[in-house]
Amino acid sequence: MKTILVATDFSNAANNAVKYAAQFAAATNHDIFLMNTYIPSVPQYSSVHALISEETHDETHRNHLKLLHLLEKVAPVSSETYVAVGDPVAEILNAAKVKKANMVVVGTHGATGVRSALFGSNTSKIIAKSNLPVLSVPSKYRFQKIDTILYATDTKNTINELKVLIPIAKLLNAAIEIVYMKYAWDKNPQVKIDLEKKIKALRFKNITLIERKAGIEKPLTEQLKGYIRQRKPQMLAMFPADKSWFDKFFTGSKTEDIAFELKVPLLSIRKRLVAKD
């Protein structure tokens, strides 16, 4: 059985992600591995660590009971719970490796702005360091049938990225809508023609390539945000590279943070994890 690791700190945003993950797991025939990370009040190897070992034991026990209670409410699938002690990012990534998870699901505090909530948090570090797909769920988003996955491509490794994304789409019985933002000076039609031929060769019928005109009057990231608002997909998929336009998508000006809130789940798979042509 395949496994989805879900991390919660018991905040409303994190617990909402647990609810989403449980329904996502049921739809895709996955187990749930639900975990929490307790951070001791003093470092683990401090000289006074022995004095708080009982406190740590009590807190981890309480958190374990919270996990079980949470599962009783939301999880219709086979589940396992775990409370780790230490740095949340390191413990989550290590648990994902040990459990051979297929995906990590975390919550985001979308209502406070994307930069401060997503890329100023443990979620951003998990996305950056994870060797697995990471699905981040906005705090108020409720699970709904995933009919469309919007895949924003920079056309640099589209086919290999699709080979990773298509199995996920098949599990969900979802279509993939590829959007490519094209500037007026890019007059070479062969890029799209060649890409369409390669996509056709993948033999996945529920896929569409859309070439969206981009202008210089607005940042590319802002135009992509507008397209997302217009299309209203149930999931956004991106393959970020370090210091890429994807990073700029979430780390722009404060004005952009205020103007846009992430309103759909984001599936992030780092480019370094995908084979290259």
Domain CATH number, residue 259: 3.40.50.620
Q: What is the pLDDT of residue 185?
A: 65
Smallest CA-to-CA distance from 155 within 221, 219, 210 is with 210
Q: Which residues of the chain have pLDDT under 70?
A: 1, 41-52, 75-76, 109-121, 183-185, 220-221, 242-262
Average pLDDT over the chain, rounded to an integer:
81
Domain containing 199 equals 148-273
Residue 143 lies in a domain: no
Residue 159 lies in a domain: yes
Total domains in the chain come to 2
**Which stretches of 110-261 are DSSP H helices?**
114-117, 122-129, 158-172, 190-201, 220-231, 245-250, 254-259
Last residue of a domain, one of 83, 108, 138: 138
Same domain? 106 vs 154: no
Q: What is the pLDDT of residue 208?
A: 93
Same domain? 162 vs 131: no
CA-CA distances (angstroms) from residue 59 to 7, 15, 39, 53, 56?
17, 18, 10, 10, 5
Task: Give the bridge partners for 199, in sequence order.
Answer: none
Residue 151, token pair as written in the block: 């895949």
The pTM of the full predicted model, rounded to 2 decimals, is: 0.83
Last residue of a domain, one of 110, 138, 166: 138
Q: What is the pLDDT of residue 257?
A: 36
Residue 163 lies in a domain: yes
User: Hey, how many other C-beta atoms are within 10 angstroms of the C-beta on 196?
Assistant: 12
Q: What is the pLDDT of residue 217?
A: 75
Q: What is the pLDDT of residue 206?
A: 94
Q: What is the pLDDT of residue 75?
A: 66
**For residue 251, with 0-12 CB atoms within 10 Å meaning exposed, 13-18 middle and 19 or more buried, which class applies?**
middle
Same domain? 219 vs 245: yes
Same domain? 71 vs 169: no
Same domain? 169 vs 43: no
